[in-house]
Amino acid sequence: MDAENNPSDELFWRKSSYSGGTGGNCVEVAVLPDGGRAVRDSKDPGGSVLRFTAAEWAAFLAGARDGEFNG
């Protein structure tokens, strides 16, 4: 995972439909050209962005599906 400020404005950012129209308290995710993912805070779209490789993102999704993050 890497953090950077303001990556390409050409990325197509998505967020959950459950977030509503207010834009708060959500993360947005974009697919990177190399297959990785970029994640940012929807409240601060010009702020820092976390970048994950495709392998890191796949591991995160597998963990979420397997309940690894359930409290």
Residue 70 lies inside a defined structural domain of this protein: no
Q: What is the pLDDT of residues 11-62, one digit of tens each?
A: 999 988 887 766 567 899 999 999 999 999 988 888 999 999 999 999 999 9
Q: Which domain holds residue 60?
A: 2-16+25-65
pLDDT, residue 25, reads 79
- The domain tally of the chain equals 1
User: Which residues, listed in sequence order, are joined to residue 48 by a DSSP beta bridge?
Assistant: 5
Reported pTM: 0.79
Q: Is residue 71, in this structure, part of any structural domain at all?
A: no
Distance CA 26, CA 40 (A): 9
Q: Is residue 61 part of a domain?
A: yes
Is residue 33 a part of any domain in this protein? yes
Residue among 49, 38, 43 nearest 23 (CA): 43
